[in-house]
Amino acid sequence: MDGIARDWRVRRQRYALQGEVCEHCGAVIFPPRDVCPHCSHPARTPVTLSGKGEVFSFSTMYNAPAGFEEYIPYTVAMVKLEEGPVVTAQITDVDAEDVYIGMKVEMVTRKISEDGQDGLIHYGYKFRPMLKRAA
């Protein structure tokens, strides 16, 4: 049951990319922390990040850790968000060979894992290429 409680505690981070802004130095922090890693002052002001950014670095996984074998190959990237923080997440909805540094991406909520066939399903953020909007 601890998995359910943990999911409720981090749902804002996983589904809305909620971070914090340091009132002292103005740094945007993700995930939320009690203390700003830039200036060591309290960071308590919540902020919902846009979920838009670009691929800073990436790697395609061909040997997955236990529980993720069914997803290989998959691409994991460091995504620099428009607001500044860099997050690590899976890139989805694109072939591995089409991912590149500088690719504009947006956050989407997707299944991350599940606890057995009839267990709790864990959702979280992944990133996909930005959708082209009609002019």
pLDDT of residue 123: 80
Mean pLDDT score across all residues of the chain: 84
**Phi/psi of residue 52, nearest 5 degrees:** -110, 140
Whether residue 59 is found in the same domain as residue 94: yes
Domain boundary among 12, 31, 49: 49
Which residues 6+ apart lie within 8 Å of 112 measured at CB?
122, 123, 124, 126
Rounded CA separation 28/93 (Å): 28
Q: Between the CA of residue 102 and those of 91, 93, 135, what are the distances in Å?
A: 13, 17, 23
pLDDT tens sequence across 60-113: 999 988 877 878 899 999 999 999 999 999 999 999 999 999 999 999 988 877
What count of other Cβ atoms lies within 10 Å of the Cβ of residue 18? 17
Q: Angle at CA 35, nearest 5°, toward 44 and 33?
A: 70
Domain boundary among 34, 49, 64: 49
**Phi/psi of residue 103, nearest 5 degrees:** -60, 130
Mean pLDDT in residue range 33-39 = 90
Range of the domain at 28: 1-49
Count of the separate structural domains present in the chain? 2
Q: Is there a domain that residue 135 lies in?
A: no
Q: Is there a domain that residue 9 lies in?
A: yes
pLDDT of residue 1: 45
Rounded CA separation 37/27 (Å): 9
